[in-house]
Structure 1
Amino acid sequence: MITIDVDSAEPLFSQLVNQIKIAIQQALVAPGDALPSIRQLATDLDINAKTVAKAYRILERDNVIETKGYRGTFVHSNAILNSQFDLEAWINEQLFDVISTFKDAGATDSEIRIAFNNIMSQQPKGK
């Protein structure tokens, strides 16, 4: 049910995240259904296991899937609702608004980038 386009400009992990969310929204998989292991899905799609692991981490962070230790990975009970929220789009909207405010105040692209990098470097790792 999942197909990956290696020639697409969209990163492979992002394609995987989006396709799993679409499969959930279209009821092709339901809450509680088991998903393939990282290794199995990577083999099936002929992609690196780290790519699948990254996609699964994002989906787990967003409560679309849940890992239950050695029992495997499953579709989260609230996956239908949670798969409709697009964190990346929300971040882009927020940044667009903030950057527009900075530019309206006269800040240059370079000044904004430097300030952004400074703030990001002050954040604890993993947050």
Structure 2
Amino acid sequence: MGVRPTIIRDDETLVAILRGRRLQLGIGQAELDDMINWPDGYTAKVEAPGRKYGRRSLWGLSSFLNYWLESLGLALVVMDRAEAERLAAASDAPPAALSSHDAYAGRTRKREVVQHRVLRVAYVFPGGRKAA
């Protein structure tokens, strides 16, 4: 069962689409818990992140991510997996460039790595017994 590709701009939209897809496929919350091997009732929590008992499963999917994607000419899209794989395989565009974070890129300063630290703690209890 295919779905129209949808651009995701916030976590509420993604949660709504995932909840709708579950309902469209006729999968109950308990059944999805079993499929994913989640604790009983966890699907209800992630499908209602704004409720008192809710759980956010998508920390960081905020408008800031949307701004970042848009500024680079990109979008996060939810679509049918088979269609996504077909689309990716048929594309003649170069693959996305991958890069990993390099702490202190270009840093030339050399210094010795601290290998050993000593921490001393003393406890003094007021009104304690006096030594004889």
TM-score of Structure 1 vs Structure 2, range by shorter chain: under 0.3
TM-score (normalised: structure 2): 0.25
TM-score (normalised: structure 1): 0.26
The structure with the greater share of residues assigned to helix is 1
Identify the structure with bigger relative contact order (alpha carbons < 8 Å, sequence gap 6+): 2
